[in-house]
Amino acid sequence: MRSPGRDEALLAADVLLPVDMTLGVVLVALLLLAATTAAVFRLAPDGSRGRARDIAFAGGRAAAQLAAVSLAIGWVVRHLPATFAFLLLMFAVAVRTAGHRITPDRGWWWAAVPVAGPVAPLVAVLLAIGLLPARGIAMIPVTGILIGGALTATVLAGRRALDELTARAGEVEACLALGFLERDARLEIVRPAASDALLPGLDQTRTVGLVTLPGAFVGMLLGGASPVMAGAVQLFVLIALMAVQTMAVAITVELVARGRLRRPAPGAGTGARVRS
């Protein structure tokens, strides 16, 4: 027999987003609106309409991936080995996405360090102290949120840092002429720019409950949890995300300063070992 709270949660979920033909039509319309806007205003780095194609592809890919995950997740969360395999897949996709978003150089795989570096120890500690149960239903969403946060921070920090190195190459050379070590000269340039990668997470945390109600909070409410419990979980997610993203940015800055994450010089092959 269902509890009243559970019935209310199911009703709230149905009211929030009923899964029917209307939802499908709205999703297609929104995707077309985004792609058309990007095409009309040429919202791409080279001023072309290429970003519209990226948006359309991303929307279709998201639909296919979520459909596959929705079918598989029920089985995955009931088997611990499958859970760890799924987490490994999430990590691999995040590393490849971050690495190729930052640089075409063959050293893109260094993006694994800022993605795994903060997340793996934090999840291990949470499991060790019992705050995170060793069950797929808990591990997959929490670890996925943290990996996603590290991915975003790594991409933003890496791109901003490398863009700054390119634009201010003369200042790096000036620092070298003054006797700075190459790592220190790069740090002087990339650190202030890369720190901007922390702003989205900071703004999300500062405005939580006032501007938006984040996904973890709403999801727990729809699942029947009390507002206090939902708020506590959301607070944990936000603070953990800030810790992960801060460490991811710090590691990314260090990798760029040491030349591990770099971009090929103009005219060089993507595998060339050149200074950024």
Model confidence over 205-214: pLDDT tens digits?
999 888 877 7
Convert the pLDDT of each residue in 138-168 to its tens digit.
899 999 999 999 999 999 999 999 999 999 9
7-14, long-range: CB < 8 A, 24+ apart? 8/224, 9/221, 9/222, 9/223, 9/224, 12/221, 12/222, 13/222
Q: How many angstroms separate the CA atoms of 104 and 272, rounded?
A: 10
Structure tokens at 110: 């260094």
Structure tokens at 256: 């760029």
Structure tokens at 4: 């009243």
* CB burial of residue 139 (10 Å; 0-12, 13-18, 19+): buried
Give the predicted TM-score (pTM) of the model: 0.84
Query: Residue 208 pairs with which residues in a beta bridge?
Result: 212
Q: Where are the chain's structural domains?
A: 18-76, 80-276
Cα dihedral sign for 94, 97, 100, 106?
positive
Which of 114-118, 137-141, 216-220, 261-265 shows the lowest per-residue confidence on average (mean pLDDT)? 216-220
